[in-house]
Amino acid sequence: MYRSNVLVCGGTGCTSSNSEEIITRLKKEIAAHGLEKEVNVIRTGCFGLCALGPIMVVYPEGSFYSRVTPDDVPEIVEEHLLKGRIVKRLLYQETIVNDSTIRSLNDTPFYAKQNRVALRNCGVINPENIEEYIAEDGYSALGKVLTEMTPEQVIEEVKASGLRGRGGAGFPTGLKWSFAAKNQADQKYVCCNADEGDPGAFMDRSILEGDPHSVLEAMAIACYAIGASQGYIYVRAEYPIAVKRLQIAINQAREYGLLGKNIFDTGFNFDIDLRLGAGAFVCGEETALMTSIEGKRGEPRPRPPFPALKGLFQKPTILNNVETYANIAQIILKGADWFASMGTEKSKGTKVFALGGKIKHTGLVEVPMGTTLREIVDEIGGGVPDGHTFKAAQTGGPSGGCIPASELDIPIDYDNLLSIGAMMGSGGLIVMDDTTCMVDIARFFLEFTVDESCGKCTPCRVGTRRLLEILKKITSGNGTMEDLDRLEELCYYLKENSLCALGQTAPNPVLSTLHYFRDEYIAHVKDHRCPAGVCKALTNYYIQPDKCRGCTLCARNCPVGAISGKVKEPHVIDTQKCIKCGACMEKCKFGAIVKR
C-alpha cells in the first residue's frame, strides 16, 4: 500500500507539453530519495482542465498542481512527497482557500457543476492497466447482462434510459439496437465511430485515451443485445495515443477472457478489431465509415436500406460513437431510472463538450443536459478573457450553427439547439468574442467542408464551392446585396438535395450567421467594412494622433516602411503600402494604433 499516489495527465494535450518527461523525472527523483515503496506514479487520461496542463494531482491530499514543468519535479518530490509541504506556487489557485485549506477538486468552479459519467474514469485510473478499470466496477455490467439479463431486457433498459446518440443526430440508442436485433442474419456487426473530425473536438479521443475499456465493455454488451459476434472500432490514425491504448486494452481484455470465445463461461463469443481512418471527415457518416472498413473508398451510400438491415458487409449493423458507448455500462449497473433522472424530458443524461476558443479555461467538461450556455461559459469556463465580451458560441462544428449572446441562457439540449438553428453535434463548443468576424467564421467552416467533401454527389461537390466563392467575395469587399439572397437560396438547395449529412448540414454555419449577424454581412457589402477588423481586405490600421508619442517603435518594426513621422511627433500609416501584418499595433506601448 502506497502512502501517496501521484497522478500525472497522459492525454494528448499534456503529453505535448512534456508530461512524459515529467513522469520520467518523477520516477528518477523518487528513486533517488528512496521513496519507490511509498510513492506510486500513475499516468492517467485527461483531467479536463486542458488550459492548465500539464496537470499533476497528489493523493491523499488532493493537491492539484497545474502548468507543471520537468524542472518543478525535484521541488515537488523534496518538499511535498518527502517533507509533506505542499508547493503552493504550483497549485491551481482556485483550490486555495484562506491561503491554507485545500478543497476537493469538485468544489472548484471548473468541476463543481460537472457530472462525470462518460468521463468518470478519465484522470482517475491508469488506462493501460485493466486491473484499475476492474477495480472501478469494470466489466461488471458485461457480467450482469450475460448472466442475469436476456438480450431483450438489455435493449429495453437502454431504451428506458432515454440515451440518445452522442455523435450528432441524437437518435435513440435503444431503438437503433432493437432494429438490428429484429433482423435475422448469419452475421451481425457492432461498430464504434471514433473518427472524430470536427475542428476543436476531442471528446472521444480523451475517452479512448483515458478509459478505453469502457468502450470495449459497452460494445460487448451491444453485441450480446443484437446477436452479433464481431466489433470494429474505426479510429483516426491521427490519434496515436488513443490507438496505442485501445490496442493495449484489447490485448488485455483477450488475455483476461473478456474478449474472445465463451466469455464468462456463458457461450457468448465476441471480439473487436481496430480499423484506422486516414482523416477523411466524411467517414464520420455511418455508411461512409462502413464502406471504408470494407476497404473501399469512404463514400456514403443512399439510405434506405439503413445499416440495421444492411450495413457493414451488407449485414445488420449498429454504429454508435465513443461517448454513447461510454454511458452504457453505467446504465446497466445503476439502472435506466438513474440515467433518466439527469437531463431534460427529451434529452436524458449528460453531455461532454470540448470547450475552446475565446474562453479562460479551455478543456473537457461533462454537464447534465439542460445546463445553460451561460453556466458553461461563465461559471465552468471562467468567462471570456482580456476584457472582451461574449459574442457567440459555435456548436456542432462544420455541421452546426452559432448561438448568439441573446441566447446565452438557453438550456443546452437537442431540441432547444435545433429551435434556434444550431445543433448539438458531437460536442465541440467554440466560444467567440467581440473580436470575431462572423462572416469569416462562416467562410472558415465552408473551406473545411469543401476540402472534406467526398465529391460523390453534385449538390455537395459543386454547391459548397459556390457557397465558399460567394463568402470569399464578401470578405474581400466585392460582395453585393444580391449575393446574400444567393447564399440563402443555395443553402436551402444543398440541405434538400445532398446525399449525406455532410452536404445537408454544411450550410448551417452560413444560415445561422446570416440570421443572427446579418448586420455584419451588410457592413461588409455596403460599407466595405469588417466590424471586427478581421477581414484584411476591409481593414486598415490607423494611428490616433492624440495618443501617439512619436517613439518611432512602430516605424522601426514595420517590415515595408509604411509608417512615417518625426521623433516625438504623431506618426502616419500609408494605407497603400501597409500589408496589414499588425506588427505596429503589437509593438505600440501606448495603444495609439487601431484597426477599422
Q: Residue 79's domain spans which residues? A: 4-110
Question: Which of the listed residues 401, 433, 465 is the one where a domain comes to its end?
Answer: 433
Q: In whole angstroms, how far apart are CA 98 and each of 86, 106, 299, 382, 432?
A: 15, 18, 59, 21, 34
Instruction: Answer whether residue 236 shows pLDDT above 80.
Output: yes
Q: Measured between alpha carbons, how far is 517 from 302 in angstroms, rounded to an integer? A: 35
Q: What is the pLDDT of residues 265-313, one digit of tens each?
A: 999 999 999 999 988 999 999 999 999 999 999 999 999 999 999 999 9
* Structure confidence at residue 595 (pLDDT): 86
| pLDDT tens digits, 110-119 | 998 999 999 9
Asked if the peptide bond before residue 305 counts as cis, ω within 30 degrees of 0, the response is yes
Residue 125 belongs to some domain of the structure: no
Tell me the pLDDT tens digit for each residue of 324-377: 999 999 999 999 999 999 999 999 999 999 999 999 999 999 999 999 999 999
pLDDT of residue 73 exceeding 90, the answer is yes
**CB-based burial, 454-487: b 16+ in 10 Å, e otherwise:** bebbebbbebbebbbebbeebbebebeeebbeeb
pLDDT attached to residue 425: 83
Give the residue from 339, 363, 388 where a domain finishes: 339
Per the structure, the count of domains in the chain is 5
For a pLDDT cut of 70, what percent of the chain falls above it? 98
198 and 310 share one domain: yes
Phi and psi of 522, rounded to 5°? -65, -40
Cβ neighbours of 153 (radius 10 Å) = 12
243-247 long-range contacts, CB within 8 A, separation 24+: 243/274, 243/276, 245/127, 245/128, 245/208, 245/209, 245/212, 246/208, 246/212, 246/215, 246/274, 247/274
List of E strands, 21-108:
39-44, 56-59, 63-65, 96-97, 101-102
* C-alpha cell of residue 464: 459548397
CA–CA distance, 332 with 124 (Å, rounded to integer): 21
Question: Is residue 287 domain-resident?
Answer: yes
Chain centroid to Cα 413, Å, comes to: 16
C-alpha cell at 33: 530519495
Give the pLDDT of residue 198. 86
Quick one: which of 206, 192, 272 has its CA closest to 239?
A: 206
Assess contact for 277 and 290: CB atoms under 8 A.
no
Q: For residue 449, tell me if it sits in a domain.
A: yes
Q: Which of 379, 404, 433 is the last residue of a domain?
A: 433
In a domain, 123, yes or no: no
Residues 408, 322 share a domain = no
What CATH number should be reported for the domain holding residue 46?
3.40.30.10
Asked, for residue 552, whether it belongs to a domain, the answer is yes
Report the range of poorest mean pLDDT among 147-161, 216-230, 566-580: 566-580
pLDDT of 99 higher than 60: no
> For 179-194, what is the mean pLDDT?
96
Pairing of strands 230-236, 189-194: parallel
254 with 227, same domain: the answer is: yes
Other CB atoms closer than 10 Å to residue 184's CB: what's the count? 8
Cα–Cα distance measured from residue 412 to residue 170, given in angstroms and rounded to the nearest whole number: 13
**What is the residue-averaged pLDDT of the chain?**
94
Find the mean pLDDT for residues 449-456: 93
**Residue 97: pLDDT over 60:** no
Q: List Cβ neighbours of 216 (8 Å cut-off, separation of 6 or more).
A: 249, 250, 253, 258, 259, 272
Rounded-to-10 torsion of CA 143, 149, 151, 152: -150
In terms of DSSP H, where are the helices of 122-202? 130-135, 140-148, 151-161, 173-182
State mean pLDDT over 458-464: 95
Single-letter amino acid code for the residue at 584? C
Q: Quick one: three-class SS letters along 68-91?
A: CCHHHHHHHHHHHHHCCCCCHHHE
Sign (positive or negative) of CA dihedral 107, 108, 111, 112: positive
Is a pLDDT exceeding 80 seen at residue 168? no
Instruction: Kindly report the CATH number assigned to the domain that includes residue 468.
Output: 1.20.1440.230
Q: Is residue 116 part of a domain?
A: no
Contacts of 231 (CB under 8 A, 6+ apart): 189, 190, 191, 192, 219, 220, 222, 223, 270, 271, 272, 273
Domain-located, residue 364: yes
Tell me the residue type at 304: P
Domain identity same for 58 and 102: yes
- Tell me the pLDDT tens digit for each residue of 4-58: 999 999 999 999 999 999 999 999 999 999 999 999 999 999 999 999 999 999 9
Please check whether residues 228 and 286 belong to one and the same domain: yes
Q: Are 100 and 157 part of one and the same domain?
A: no
pLDDT at residue 66 greater than cutoff 60: yes
Asked if residue 386 and residue 253 are part of one domain, the reply reads no
